[in-house]
Amino acid sequence: MAEQAGGGISNVMREERVFPPSAEFAAQARIKSMEEYEALWTQAAADPPKFWADLARDELHWFEPFSKALVWNEPVAEWFVGGKTNACYNCVDKHVVEGRGDRTAIIWEGEPGDQRTLTYAELQTEVSKCANALKSLGIGVGDVVSIYMPMTPELAIAMLACARIGAVHSVIFAGFSAEAIADRNNDAGAKLVITSDGAWRRGKVLPLKETVDEALAKSPTVEHCLVLKRAGDAPTMQEGRDVWWHDVVDSASADCPAEPLDSETPLFILYTSGSTGKPKGIKHTTAGYNLYAKKTFEWVFDHRDDDIYWCTADCGWITGHSYIVYGPLAAGAQVMMYEGAPNHPAEDRFWDIIERHKVTIFYTAPTAIRAFIKWGDDLVKKHDLTSLRILGTVGEGINPEAWMWYHRMIGGERCPIVDTWWQTETGGIMMSPLPGAIPTKPGSCTKPLPGIIPSIVGTDGQEVDTNQGGMLTIAHPWPGMLRGIWGDMDRYEQVYWSRVKGKYLAGDNARCDEDGYYWIMGRIDDVLNVSGHRLSTIEIESALVSHAAVAEAAAVGRPHELKGDAVAVFVTLCDAEPTEELREELRQHVRKEIGALAVPDDIRFTSSLPKTRSGKIMRRLLRDIAAGREAAGDTTTLEDYTVLAKLREKEA
């Protein structure tokens, strides 16, 4: 088993503080006590399909009822078989039909300060027009649409428009490179790309359309490109291929009923890093995912009608899918959406937004919290944050001291913190405190949600004892579970279902303490968590090796104050000189191959890499060197002892 990447585990091991919800908070909560939570969890665990089926009947709109809750042929799950529903209908039309059309759906703020509010009825109109425009571009059930857009309402509208007509969206985070877009277009066979002329980021315009143009030169399956005017740039529009949003969407009819779709109709693909160089297209389907996003949103954020809910993620990641779009909108929430950087025009932009919009629920990432801490308390104190009632975190473990700062400075010691553990693959939150019921311990994601049965196992597949670390698995399928890797069911089976029989392998190590609280201890594979984003070391290595000067490369994570993991790479060269210019060139090369988020923080040139006799790179040693630690542990299998000495010398 690989060691955990990143740091902080020793802190977590010693954490003993417990923060129960206040009596006042608990009294008003959906789930009011540990006893209530435990009763619900036990009831769900006794018969998960029945538990979920009862919820599905009540919570989703069914054009046709389902006949069977779950058909499970490991590793293929089908939920709510025989039923017909539509995720867009559940998120939009259902509220309008039930008389809540005037309720605010999206409160949006652009980075330059422009604002827009959409009610559920207005959202229905916009989504319907967009859906008709997609149809006019030849998109129908099962067609894949790549979306590469800034965080504007149109991004959510585009996702929902796809869902409305049964097209499968594949949102690509707008920081990815042209190469990465082309790879994803080709893997998914995308027919359409939706983008914008540009995106605002720290007062500058990122030329998204230009990047898409470069990608489209290598994306033979893409027939059209739909372009939103956002930043005022004048991109080249290719005749016959590219169309403006304001030309085709604005003039489209607003009459486009949601398509009744089989429960298992693919809803979206979202690419994420695994332990090989090729990102995996994680596939989610309609009914199960939609139900899971909705219920977990309501439970974890204890959602009430008067809440103003803000998740700071980007829709390019799963958090944006489940907790900006599908979960909150299905629950009829009032969703705050912000386009830009947290430090523009100043480092208190988030606190300013919370104060002005009276945000009540705030969901962000530990990497952001670490930046806020660095930016200083004075900026926070300038603002009135008393509207807040719940805080959340996601993406990586939170260091207990960052947790305490969040609790004190942002939460005023009054707001429960929900530390939510989940993954792109799980579709929604799997473990988290329920804020009115479960006392929190800083650094622990506490307990599984109802219907979720975790099991920590050793390498022999047997459950480990209390407080023993092991591989985190989930013992029974749940509705939000991924349904496969796009176009590669073998890899799906191999990655998630082959190592531990009968259980979903999450890829994280964890332990469960004597109170039944779970503590996530980092990945079991070579996946790094850089500012809350998953990156595989092999992806970075492949990018480096594709440069002519590079013979061999090894990438490892090194603990980093803000990012969690920083990317450190060790590179051996062909004939080239190890210069500062080359180092910069390699940085630019990785930026071009993957995107800015993968650019290595450290590049070290070395004459060779430490390897075992069987030729495997000894990453453990490289991790120690990258972190500036003495290389510990067994080195007797090291093929060339001098390599280690040389790498250490460079350190000195």
> Cβ of 633: how many Cβ atoms within 10 Å?
10
Name the helix (H) or strand (E) containing 282: strand 280-285
| Beta carbon of residue 143, minimum distance to ligand WTA (angstroms, whole number) | 25
Binding residue (CB under 6 A) for ligand WTA from 394, 452, 590, 603: 394
CB 12 within 8 A of CB 400: yes
Least distance in Å: CB of 573 to ligand WTA? Answer: 33
| Position 367, amino acid | T
- Contacting residue, 51, 421, 496, 518, with ligand WTA by CB under 6 A: 421
Q: Which of 49, 101, 150, 397 binds ligand WTA (CB under 6 A)?
A: 397
Residue 520 binds to ligand WTA (criterion: CB under 6 A)? yes
By the rule CB under 6 A, 319 interacts with ligand WTA: yes
- Figure out which of the listed residues 166, 332, 395, 477 binds ligand WTA, where binding follows CB under 6 A: 395
Residue 395, marked binder: yes
Query: How far, in Å, CA of 536 to CA of 523, rounded?
Result: 11
CB of 395 to ligand WTA, least distance (A): 5
| Closest to ligand WTA by CB, 471 or 573 | 471
Give the angle subtended at the CA of 470 by the CAs of 289 and 464, to the nearest 5°: 105
The residue written with tokens 């705030």 in the block is: 362
Least distance (Å) between residue 419 CB and ligand WTA: 5
DSSP 3-state assignment of 63?
coil
- Distance of alpha carbon 599 from alpha carbon 481, whole angstroms: 31
- Residue 312, both tokens: 């700071």
Give the number of other CB atoms < 10 A from CB of residue 490: 10
Q: Residue 534, annotated ligand binder?
A: yes
Q: Single out the residue of 422, 486, 496, 504 in contact with ligand WTA (rule: CB under 6 A).
A: 422
Q: By CB under 6 A, tell whether 283 contacts ligand WTA.
A: no
Bridge partners (DSSP) listed for residue 243? 226
Is 318 a binder of ligand WTA (CB under 6 A)? yes
- Closer residue to ligand WTA in complex, CB, 111/525: 525
- Annotated ligand binding at 547? The verdict is yes
Which two three-digit tokens encode residue 159?
Answer: 């996702």
**In the window 534-563, what residues touch ligand WTA (CB under 6 A)?**
534
- Could you say whether residue 424 binds ligand WTA (CB under 6 A)? yes
Name residue 115's beta-bridge partners: 109
Q: Is 507 in the site for ligand WTA (CB under 6 A)?
A: yes
Q: Do the annotations mark residue 276 as ligand-binding?
A: no
- Distance in Å, CB of 534 to ligand WTA, minimum: 5
* 302 has binding-site annotation: no
**Is 422 assigned a ligand-binding role in the annotation?**
yes
Least distance from C-beta 522 to ligand WTA, angstroms? 7
Stretch that binds ligand WTA, among 7-15, 84-92, 135-143, 390-398 (CB under 6 A): 390-398
Q: If binding is defined by CB under 6 A, does position 284 make contact with ligand WTA?
A: no
DSSP characters over 92-104: IIHHHHTT-TTSE
550 is in an annotated binding site: yes
First vs last C-alpha separation in the chain: 30
Residue tagged 């009763």 (tokens): 39
343 has binding-site annotation: yes
Residue 203 assigned as binding residue: yes
Q: Is 370 in the site for ligand WTA (CB under 6 A)?
A: no
4 binds ligand WTA per the rule CB under 6 A: no
Pick from 315, 445, 482, 535 the residue near ligand WTA by CB under 6 A: 445
Q: Name beta bridge partners: 535.
A: 528
The β-bridge relationship of strands 504-512 and 518-523 is: antiparallel
H helical segments located in 269-365: 286-300, 318-320, 327-330, 349-357
Q: Which of 111, 122, 298, 419 binds ligand WTA (CB under 6 A)?
A: 419
3-state secondary structure of 167: coil
Taking the complex as a whole, how short is the minimal distance between the CB of residue 275 and ligand WTA, in angstroms?
12
Contact 282, 492 (CB under 8 A): no
Q: How far is the CB of 565 from ligand WTA (least distance, A)?
A: 11
Minimum CB–partner distance for residue 433 and ligand WTA (Å): 11
Measured CA to CA, the distance from residue 100 to residue 116 in angstroms comes to: 19
* Locus of tokens 């608990």: 26
Nearer to ligand WTA by C-beta: 107 or 555?
Answer: 555
Interatomic CA distance for residues 523 and 17, integer angstroms: 25
What is the bridge-based pairing of β-strands 454-457 and 390-394?
unpaired
* Type and span of the H or E element at 244: strand 242-244
Chain length of the chain: 652
Strand pairing report for 280-285 and 484-485: antiparallel
Report the residue closest to ligand WTA, judged by CB: 424
Short-list 465, 365, 471, 469, CA closest to 417 = 365
Q: What angle do CA 195, 197, 203 make, to 5 degrees?
A: 115
Q: Which is nearer to ligand WTA, 288 or 507 (CB)?
A: 507
Question: In the complex, what is the shortest distance from the CB of residue 414 to ligand WTA, in angstroms, rounded to a whole number?
Answer: 22
523 touches ligand WTA (CB under 6 A)? yes
Running DSSP on this structure, what letter comes out for residue 332? T
Q: How far apart are CA 419 and CA 266, in angstroms?
A: 29
Residue closer to ligand WTA, measured from CB, 124 or 272: 272
Contacts of 305 (CB under 8 A, 6+ apart): 332
Nearer to ligand WTA, 507 or 600 (CB): 507
- Residue 420 CB, shortest distance to ligand WTA, in Å, is 5
Number of residues that bind ligand WTA (CB under 6 A): 21
8 forms part of the interface with ligand WTA (CB under 6 A): no
Nearer of residues 51 and 421 to ligand WTA, judged by Cβ: 421
Nearer to ligand WTA, 422 or 504 (CB): 422
Instruction: Choose, by CB under 6 A, the member of 122, 348, 508, 593 that binds ligand WTA.
Output: 508
Q: Which of 373, 347, 295 is nearest to 40 (CA)?
A: 295
Contact in structure between 576 and 563 (CB atoms under 8 Å): no
CA 192 remoteness from chain centre: 23
Q: Is 289 in the site for ligand WTA (CB under 6 A)?
A: no
Single out the residue of 128, 146, 360, 420 in contact with ligand WTA (rule: CB under 6 A).
Answer: 420
Q: Give which of 492, 490, 469 is closest to 481, Cα–Cα.
A: 492
Q: Under a CB-based contact definition with an 8 Å cutoff, are residues 567 and 583 in contact?
A: no
Contact call for residue 85 and ligand WTA (CB under 6 A): no
Residue 96 annotated as lining a ligand binding site: no
Binding region for ligand WTA (CB under 6 A) out of 16-24, 316-324, 558-566, 601-609: 316-324
Work out how close the CB of 70 gets to ligand WTA at its nearest, in angstroms, rounded to a whole number: 24
Listed residue (243, 242, 197) closest to 216, CA to CA: 242
Binding stretches for ligand WTA (CB under 6 A): 272, 317-319, 394-397, 419-424, 445, 507-508, 520, 523, 529, 534
Binding site listing for CoA: 201-204, 319, 343, 531, 591
Q: Can you say which residues are annotated as belonging to the binding site for Mg(2+)?
A: 545, 547, 550
Q: Which residues are annotated as a binding site?
A: 201-204, 319, 343, 395-397, 419-424, 508, 523, 531, 534, 545, 547, 550, 591
Q: Cite the annotated binding site for ATP by residue number.
A: 395-397, 419-424, 508, 523, 534
